[in-house]
Structures are given as C-alpha cells and as structure tokens.
Structure 1
C-alpha cells in the first residue's frame, strides 16, 4: 500500500469530548446560571455546616453573616473582562434562585397561617 492510499483509508479519530465546546456561545450562559443556583444554595449551607462543626451554636450564629464575603467571588468575576459573561449569568442564576426560594417559602407560610 502506498502512503496516498493509507491516508484515504484511515479516518480521523474523534476525541471523546469533541461535542463539549468551551467557546460555544451558550456555554458561559448555562454554566454561569447553574453555578449561580449552586452558589446560592450550597455555599451558605456548607458555610454553616463548617461553622457548626468548629464552634458552638451561639458562636456559629454570630459568625454566619461572614458568608456575605463569598459574594466577592462573583463581583471579582464581573470585573475581569474574560469572565464577565459567565458572571452576568451567574448573578441571574443567583437572583432567580433566591426569588423562587423566597416565593415558595412565602406561599407555604401563607397557606400554613391561613389554614
């Protein structure tokens, strides 16, 4: 077999994650939105869990407002130009998640008090 025939016979191999395009226009939006959802739910929960393991209940309760320092991460992402689109969608995910949680909690409270 000649080299020309070999190059025609062999097909190029696909890499396993060829479909996962980091530069795709919706990649930053989708990952940012879900990162915001996770940020609103998991970060405060993990923070209070760690505080409760390390300190007494009263001390953990006093230190809990320091979870607001975690907002420095999305703000820093907004400042940097390369991560700005991701951070914008992260804020959207954070706001939507907070609104849904507050809305559901208020409806549950309303129906519990009304009944």
Structure 2
C-alpha cells in the first residue's frame, strides 16, 4: 500500500481556496438562498438611493416601480438549465425573506396601533 504525500491547505495559490467547493451539492442552495435574501432587501434600497442621487424626488418616486424589471434575472435563472437549481433557491430566499419582513412589519404595526 503506497501512501500519498500530505498537502497542506493554504500552501499554494490553488490550495488557499480549497474550501470553496463550488461543485458541492449544497453550494447552489446556500448561495441562491442568500442571493434571494439580498435581492429582496438590498436591491430595492440601492435602486431607490441611486434614483434619488440622479433625479429629483418626484421623478425618483415615479421611476421606482421599474425595480420590478430586475425580476427578469431570477426568471432567466429558472429558464436556463444550468442555473435552474440556483434560481429555485433564489426564489425560496426571496419568498421567505418577503414573508418574514411582511410578518414582522404587520406585528409591529399591530402592536403600535393597539397600544
């Protein structure tokens, strides 16, 4: 039985990122879920901020619904076969985040009005 030499992780440029297994089965799920979370939370805020920097308030308010155009990206990810798994988990992340945000907002509003 022949033993193979042990290679230390982090000794070479390739070994430095050996932990980043993009072909791992859960990689697409985890990254897709968190991408969906960011898509729901950060994208509308960044879009509103950029619009507000470029245009007056009334124009930015009128152009804000165009943020829905960005929904074409997850739909495109679902259509393409190679990115379908990532797109599915991205949609799950978007839906779960939206449900949590709406649920917490409704509870806060309920307790503020009820008190």
TM normalised by structure 1 equals: 0.89
Distance 1:99 1:63 in 2: 25
Q: Tell me the equivalent position of 1:3.
A: none
Q: Tell me the equivalent position of 2:20.
A: 20
Distance 2:112 2:45 in 1: 25
Q: Identify, as 1 or 2, the structure richer in helix.
A: 1
Determine whether 1:97 maps to 2:105. Answer: no
Q: Tell me the equivalent position of 2:12.
A: none
Change (3 A) 1:47 1:11: same
Over aligned residue pairs, what C-alpha RMSD do you find? 1.5
Moved over 6 A (4+): none
Q: How many angstroms does 1:17 deviate by? A: 1.6
TM normalised by structure 2 equals: 0.89
Q: How many angstroms does 1:19 deviate by? A: 2.0
Distance 1:17 1:68 in 2: 36
What is the CA deviation profile of residues 82-103 of structure 1, one whole-angstrom value per residue up to 9, with x for unaligned ones? 0000000000000000000000
| Runs of 5+ consecutive residues of structure 1 not aligned to the other structure | 1-7
Max Rg structure:
1
Aligned residues: 108
Q: Tell me the equivalent position of 2:79.
A: 79
Q: Tell me the equivalent position of 1:67.
A: 67
Q: How many angstroms does 1:10 deviate by? A: 5.9
Q: How many angstroms does 1:18 deviate by? A: 1.3
